[in-house]
Amino acid sequence: MNEEVTIDTAELGEKIVKVLKTIYDPEIPVDIYELGLIYDVLVNEDYEVKILMTLTSPNCPVAETLPVEVEEKVKSINEIKDAEVEITFDPTWTQDLMSEEAKLELGLL
């Protein structure tokens, strides 16, 4: 018999978000999650995570290091076997993607 393994994706998702909220854009005092840089987080049944994210600009000074930091921190979650970050600029990041909290922090509201 084949047993279905169910992953508590909500709980795992919260853990991933918590980790993402510890990573900051060096030029903006707001974490990458609240900035709206994270477009999607996918977890498969093998506990491998794929994160689709963007940067504030293609010339972002942390374009090389930020995805690596995201991968490393997400991989540090016990349940996660592997993490991969894919950078996209479609759609292009705009301030509209920021959370209300981020906009308040930056004085945009």
Containing domain of residue 95, as a range? 9-101
Place of tokens 């169910």: 6
pLDDT tens digits for range 53-80: 999 988 888 888 999 999 999 999 999 9
The answer to whether 33 and 98 are in contact (CB under 8 A) is no
Number of domains comprising the chain: 1
Residue 2 belongs to a domain: no
Residue 17 belongs to a domain: yes
Higher pLDDT, 39 or 11: 39
Place of tokens 């689709």: 52
Burial track 28-43 (b if 16+ CB lie within 10 A, e otherwise): bebbbbbbbbbbebeb
Residue 107 belongs to a domain: no
Q: What phi and psi, each to the nearest 5 degrees, are found at residue 66?
A: -60, -45
Q: Work out the pLDDT band at 2, boundaries 50, 70, 90.
A: very low
pLDDT tens digits for range 17-43: 999 999 998 888 899 999 999 999 999
Q: What is the CATH number of the domain that holds 18?
A: 3.30.300.130
